[in-house]
Structure 1
Amino acid sequence: MLALPWMFFLIFTISEMRNGDITEGYEIDRCLQFESTMIFVLEGEHARLRCRLCNGSSPIETSDLQTHGFTVSWFKYNAKRDHSELLNKGSRISIQGPLLGFWPATFNDTGRYFCSLFNGTHNVTGPNEILDVTPVSDGCYSEEIEYSRSGVIGASIELPCPHMEEYKNNIEDLKWYKDCQKNVHTGSSLFFGSLEKENAGHYTCILTIRHRGIQYNVTRTLKLKLEEPSVAPKLVYPHQEHIEVTLGERRIINCTVYAGPKSKRDVMLTWLFRKTYVTTCKGMEPVCKDSRRETTTENGIYIVRPLVFTQVTKEHLNQYFNCVLRVTSEQETMGYIFLQEKGKSSVQRTVKYLISIIVVLIALAMVCVHFNVQIALCFRDLTGRDETLGDSKEYDAYILLLKSDEILLNANEEQQFAFELLPAILEEKCGYRLCIFERDILPGEASAESILFYINKCRRLIIILSKDYVDDDFKSTYELVTGLHQVLVERQIKPILIEFKPINNTKSFPESLQLLLKSKRTVKWRGNKSEYKHSYFWKKLRYLMPAKGRRVQAGNQ
C-alpha cells in the first residue's frame, strides 16, 4: 500500500515535467526532442527499446542504476488524451532494467515512448524512442520502413544492420538476403570491396532469437542506392587545332567540355585572345563569345561555349584563340585554335616542316663530321667492340720512321717521338702492342725476310714522315716498299701516316706514298698541343688504330 503513493507521485511528476512545470524540491534532467530515435519493426516480430540518457546531462549511467537507488519506469505518450501513460509488465511486454521488450510487437504498439529514472530526490528522463510497427507485406520487408544507404560504383562500402546495438551477443548470427530471395551472407555486416551496378537493391538482415520457448525474428532492411563515380570535367574540343578560313567569312567554333553524368554548374568556360577575355556577343563585334549551353546525351552532359567570328579579318589570321576550362582555382585546362588562310596554310606549313627537317639533318651531319672521331671512340667504349679477336696477329702496329744515315744523326726529336712517346701513350696508356724495328728485332734478324715477317704480324703500319726525305740513301727504303706493297697490293694491313713536322713538298716521296697522303689516314703532330693524352692527335690516332675491348686495354695497362 505504501508503494502506491510513490507511484502516483512519480506519474504526476513526469506528467507535469512533460507539460513544462517543474516541481520544487526535485532535480529534473530532460533530453531535447531532436535526440529521439526511431525504430522500424514488422508486426509480429520482436522489438526492443533501451532507456538512454542524454550526454552530459545526467550524473549517472544506466549500467549503474542500483548503486544510486534508481528505478526505471516506461511511459507511452497518448496523443488522443495528450498525456503519458505508465507501462506495466505483462505476458507480451517485458521490462528488464533499462530495456523495454515487445514479444511480439503489434500495430497498436506504434507510438512515442520514454523512460524515467527516480530515486526519491532526483529524476532523469530519457529522450523519446519512437517505435513504428508496420504490417507484414508479401515480401520480407516493407518499403515504408526501409533504411537507405548510398554508394559509388567502384568504391568499397560496409553495410551494418541498422539499430542492432541491443543484440550484440547475437550479432554474428545475422542472415543477409538480397531482394528477399538470395541468402548472400551471414554476419554482423555486409562488405563490398568494389561496388558494381548489379549490387544495388534491398538488403534484409534477419536475426532469430528465442523467448520463453517461442522463436522471434528481428528484421531490418537497407536500400542500397548506387551512383556513378564523379567525373572531372574534360575538355573535348579544341586541343591544338589549325583551322583554315577565308577572309570575310562567318565562322562559329565551339569549345566543348564533357561535364560527366551530372551538370557541373561551377564549371567556368571562356575564350581568351591575346591574354584577354573575349567579350560576350551583344552586337556585330568581329569576334565574340556566345552564351554557354548544356546538351544532355546518353553518355552524360556536354557544355558548349561558341566563339563567333562575324567576319574573319587579317587580324585574326595566324593568331591563337584559347579556350579555357576552369573547375577550381588550381584546376585549369586550355586548348587553342589557330586560324590560317585557306590555300596558303598547308603550303607554308609543309615548307616550314621541310626546312626544319633539312636544317636538322644538316646540323646533325655537321656534328657527325666534326665529332666523328669522338663519336666513334665513345661507341667503342660503350659497346666494348674488339676487332683484334681471332685474327692471329701479334702486334697492333709496326712503327716505321723514314730516316737516312744523315738524318739519323740529327733526328733526336723524331726518334724520341717514335721510340719513346708513341710507346708511352699507345702501349702504356691505351693497351696497344707495337713492333719497333730498332727495339724488337735483333740485329741478326735484320733481313728482308724478317722485316716482311714482322710486318705481316701487325694490324697497322704507322709511317712517321720526315720533311728531309731523300729517296736515294734511305736505310728504311725496303721497310717502306715492303709496307706499301702490303697496303696497296696485298691489302693485308691498313696504313697510318704521321706528319711529325709540316711537309711542304711531297714530290720526293714515292708515288704510292703520295697516293696515301691524299687519304684521310694522316695525322698531324702539332707540337706541345698534341702532347696532352686527350688531345685530338691521340684521339684520331686511337680512332685509326684497331678497336680493342676495355678489358684487354686495362690488362695491358
Structure 2
Amino acid sequence: MMWCVMMTARFLLALLPLLLTLLTGVCARTAKEIYVKTGDLVALKCPCKGSNCVDAKPIWTSYTTQEMDLTKMSSAERMQMSMLIHGRSLVILNSSVKHQGNYSCSLGNASRQYWFSLMVYTTVQEETTYPWTCVAQEACELICPDANVPAKGTPNITSKDIIWHKEGESSLKTTGYFSGVKENDHGVYTCTRPYLYHDQTYNMTFTVVLDVESNIKSNKFSRITSPRMSEVFYVDLGSPKVIDCKAVMYSNYEEVFWLSGDSFVDTNASVSVYYNYTSEYDTEGIKMTASLVFKKVSEEDLSKNYTCKLESDSQPSSFVTITLARKASPSPHYLALGIVIIVAVIVVTALIYVKLKMDITLFLRDTLACCSSISDGKSYDAFLMSYKSDTDAGLNEDDRNHLESVLEETFGYSLCLYHPESVAEAVLDCIEQSRTLVLVPTSSDPGPESGLLSTIHEALVEQQTRLVFIKTEATDVSSSDSLPEALQLLGKAGDCVTWKGESSRPLSSSFWKQLRYHLPALQHAPKITRLPQTAIEDGFDKLSAEVRLEIIEHVLNVCAQLLQLKTMLKILLLGLFFLPASLQVNISARITSPRMSEVFYVDLGSPKVIDCKAVMYSNYEEVFWLSGDSFVDTNTSVSVYYNYTSEYDTEGIKMTASLVFKKVSEEDLSKNYTCKLESDSQPSSFVTITLARKASPSPHYLALGIVIIVAVIVVTALIYVKLKMDITLF
C-alpha cells in the first residue's frame, strides 16, 4: 500500500510543472529532486549566480497542497509549518508527508525561477544511499554526506557531533575512521547530523553503503577513456554516424550504456538511433566499447545531449556527455582567399626563379659544390675554338689568353684548346672528348674553313654536344651576312654570350656569370688556382657580394608582398567575423579550462585559486561553481567563495570564474567542485575537479637525481679529457 502511495505521489509531482504551466502561465524549469527521511531536517538553497543577487531577497513559493507565498508569511506562521527562512535558504525542521511537493524560489525581481521537488520517504530509497569503497587492511574514513544541510551561520541553529551506526549492531560511533579495514566491516552505515534549534534537536540522516575491496585492486578504478566530456562531434545531416564510448573495467558487474537526455538508448538495431557493445578481455582489464549508431542524422538528433554512462557496484558511477553539431560548409571567402594566396605564391616564386635563376644555379655550384654525379666518359669540360669575327671587335690574343686562364685556373674547367694549324681530325676528336664547344670571336686568326664548320655542326647534332657562342656587341649572329652560313647555323643552335671588351674582363662582370651558367657543371673538384691569391679572393668577394645583394633585394620584395597579404587576410577575417549571423558558422560556448576530472595539488592551510575559463557568445550565458550539489557563495567573507571577470574581444566573451580557498582544509579535499556553464541557447556543460594534498619529495628521487647529475659530470669530464685535442682542432 505504501509503495502505491509513493508511486502516485511521484506521478503527481511529475505532472505538477505541466499543470502550473497550463493553469497559471508559469513555465517551470526542470525541478531538482531532493529526498528527505520523515522527521528529518532539510534545507533548500536558492541558487545565486552572479554578484547582483548576493543581497537580493528570495521569494519562496510552496505548491504542496495549494500555492502559498512563504515569504509573505510571518515567522510564527512558518514555525507552525516547521519552516524558517534565513538568507537564501528555506529550512524544514521536521519533514512530513504534508511537506512533500514542489517549491520554487526567485531572487528579488528576477524573472528566472528555480524549482525543487521534495520527496519525503519512510524507508531507505536507492536515491538516498551513498556508496563508499575502502581497501582491505588499509586506513579508511567514511565521510558523512552534507547534501542540503543548513548554511553556516544560520541563526540559532548549531551543529553537533556526527553519530555513526552500523546496521545490525547496537553500538554507536562518533567517527567513521578505520585504522585497518576488515572484510566484515562492509555493510550499511547510517550517519546522523544533529542540529540544535531553540533547545530542541533535529536530525539529518544519511545512508552510506561500505564495500570492502581486496587490496590487490587498490589502484584500479573503472573509467571511461573516450570520448571527452562535452566533446562535440560534427556530422552531416542525413548521413550515418557511429560514436564509440570506450571504457576499461575490472568487474563483470559493471556496464556501459548510452542515454539520450534522461532516456535509455535502445539496443534494437531496427530503430533510427541505437547502440551495441563489444568487450575484450586482457591483462589490463575488460575493454568495453559501446557504439552509438545513427542511421541517418536528423535535425532532432542535433538538439539532444547524449551521455555514455559507466555504472558500477564498487565505485561511484561516471559519465561523459557529448553533443552533435552540423559540419560547417567551407566558406567561399576562405576558398577565394586560399586561391589568391596560392596564385600569389606561385607568381612570386616564378618571378624569383626567372630573375635569379642564373645566380641560384651558380650559388649552388660554388657554395654547395654541386657537381654532376654521372660520368659521361669525356675528358674535357669545354673545347675553345676561334672563329673569324665580321668586325674588328673580336678578342685579341691577350683577351683569349685571359679567357683561357680564368676558365682553367680560376674556375677549374678542363679545356681543349684550338690552334689554327690543327687538322680536321684533331678538331673533331676534341669535340668528341668535350662536353661543350665554345666559339670565341677573333680579329686576327682566320678561323676554321666553311667546310670544317659544316662538319662541326653535323658532329654537334650527332653527339648532342652543348654549344656556347661568344659574340661581340657589333655582331648579330643570326642575320650577319658576313658570317659563313655554317657559322650562322651554329649561332642559332647554341647559347649566346656577349663580350663587351674591357668591361667584360673583371670576374664580377655579367659575361663570366652568363658563360659559367651555360657551361656544364664540373664533374671533378675544381683545380687549385695558380693566379695570385689576393686577386682570386677579390674576384670572388665581388661576385658573392653582387649575388647576395640581389638575393636580399628580392627577398625583401617578397616579404613586403607577404606582409600586404597578411594585412588583407586580417581585414578579410574581421569582415567574416562581422558578417550577418545567418552567414556565420555556428559557434558553441565552451569551457576551455580546467580539464574534466583534473586534480589540483594543494598544501593544507595555504590559499588556493582555481580559474575556470570559458568562451561565450551571449550575455544570457553564465559560469559558476558548485561544491557537490550546492552552489558556491560569492560572498568573500566565507572560507570558500568565487568571483568572476569578463573580457570582450573579437573572439567572444572571455569569462573567468575564480574559485578561492582562503585556507585549504581536510574537508575541502573530500569534496568535488564543479564549474558549470549554463546557457539558454545550448545544452549546459560542466567540468568537475578535485583537490589532493601535495606529496612531499621522495628521498629516493632526490638521491637518484644526485646520482644522475654526478654521473653526467663524470662522463662529460672523461669525454673532454679523452677528446680535448679533437674538440680544440674541430
TM-score (norm 2): 0.29
**Structure possessing the higher radius of gyration over alpha carbons:** 1
How high is the TM-score relative to the length of structure 1? 0.36
Greater RCO, 1 or 2 (C-alpha within 8 Å, sep 6+)? 1
